[in-house]
Amino acid sequence: MTSRIKEKVFFTILGIPMVACLLVFFWIVFVLSSGIGTLSWNILTTSVLKGGIFEMIIGTIYLLLGAAGIAGPIGILAAVYLVEYAPSGKLTRTIDQAINNLAGVPSIVIGLFGLTFFCKQLGLGISLGAGWLTLTLMILPIVIRGTEEAIKLVPTSFKEAALALGTTKWKAISSMTIPSAAPGIITSVVLGMARVAGETAAILFTSCVLVTRGLPTTPLDPVMALAYNLFVKIVALGEPPEKVFGIALVLFFIVIFFATAAIVLRIYYRRRQPWLR
C-alpha cells in the first residue's frame, strides 16, 4: 500500500513543472490585462496622426491577410503533392527536409533575406508587398504540415470511391479529399496567421515604418504594424513601456484570438467529422 502512496506523491511532484507552465500563462494574461485601462474604442479607431492606433491595427491585418493569401494556396498545393503524388525517393525526402529547415530559420534571418531579395533585388523597397512575401516564408511550413496532416486523416476510401467511378486522380482529390480536409487546412492557415500577427523581426526592415499618411493604397506602399511600432517605441525611442501598453494589449488580443480560433476550430471539426478517431 505504501508503494502506492509513494507513487502518488512522486507523481504529484512530477507535475510541478506543468503547473508552473499554467501559472506562467495565467500570470502573463493577468499582467497584461492590468493595462486594459489604457484602451478605449476611441484609441482603436482614431488615426495615428491624432493619437490613436488605427492604422497600426489595419496594417497588421493587411500583412496577415496578404501573407496567408499567398502562403495558403502554395502550401495547400505543395502538401497535396507531398501526400498524394510524391514518389518516395531522394527528391521527396529533400523537399521534406527543406520544409523542416525553412521552419527552423530564425525570423531575423528571414527578415534579412527579405531585405536583400524582396526589397533590394526585386526592387520592392520597404513595402506591404515585401512584407507579404517575407511573412509568406514563415507561414508556409505551418500550412504545408497542417494540410499534410489533414489530408492524411481523410480516409482513402473516399478518394478510391471517386476513382472507381472513373474520374482522374486530381478530380478525385479536389472533389473529395481536399474538401474533407478543409477544416484541418483552415485551422492550419489560422495557426499561421497567429504566428505572424505578432512577428517583428521579419517585418523590421522589409515593410514597416513608424508613421504613414493614411493606409497603404498599393502593395508598394510601406505599412504600419502593431508589432513594429511597439518594438521601435520601446527599443529605439526609449518610451516607457507603460505608455505603449495599449499597443501591446491589442497585439496580444489579436494573436490570442487567432490561436484560440485555431484550437476551437480543431475541436469543432473533430466533432463534425465522425471518421476522425
| Residues 6+ away with beta carbon under 8 Å from 64 | 135, 193, 196, 197
Q: Does 256 bind other proteins (CB under 8 A)?
A: yes
Among 43, 182, 259, 265, binds other proteins (CB under 8 A): 259
Q: Looking only at residues 27 through 66 of this chain, which bind other proteins when binding is defined by CB under 8 A?
A: 28, 31-32
Pick between residue 97 and residue 156 the one whose CB is nearest to other proteins: 97
Pick between residue 165 and residue 267 the one whose CB is nearest to other proteins: 267
35-to-25, 48, 109, 248 alpha-carbon distances in Å: 16, 19, 32, 9
Write out the three cell numbers for 126. Answer: 520597404
Residues 67-86: x where in contact with other proteins by CB under 8 A, - otherwise, as a string: ------xxx-xxxxxx--xx
Only one of the segments 57-65, 134-142, 156-164, 175-183 lies at the binding site for other proteins (rule: CB under 8 A); that segment is: 134-142
Q: Looking only at residues 182 through 211 of this chain, which bind other proteins when binding is defined by CB under 8 A?
A: 191, 194-195, 197-201, 204-205
Only one of the segments 42-50, 59-67, 165-173, 175-183 lies at the binding site for other proteins (rule: CB under 8 A); that segment is: 165-173
Only one of the segments 43-51, 58-66, 155-163, 226-234 lies at the binding site for other proteins (rule: CB under 8 A); that segment is: 226-234
Q: Does 230 bind other proteins (CB under 8 A)?
A: yes
The C-alpha atoms of residue 60 and residue 57 are separated, in whole angstroms, by 5
137-to-71, 125, 186, 196, 210 alpha-carbon distances in Å: 7, 18, 18, 10, 23
Provide the residue count of the chain.
277
Only one of the segments 159-167, 175-183, 213-221, 246-254 lies at the binding site for other proteins (rule: CB under 8 A); that segment is: 246-254
Pick between residue 122 and residue 214 the one whose CB is nearest to other proteins: 122
Pick between residue 17 and residue 274 the one whose CB is nearest to other proteins: 17
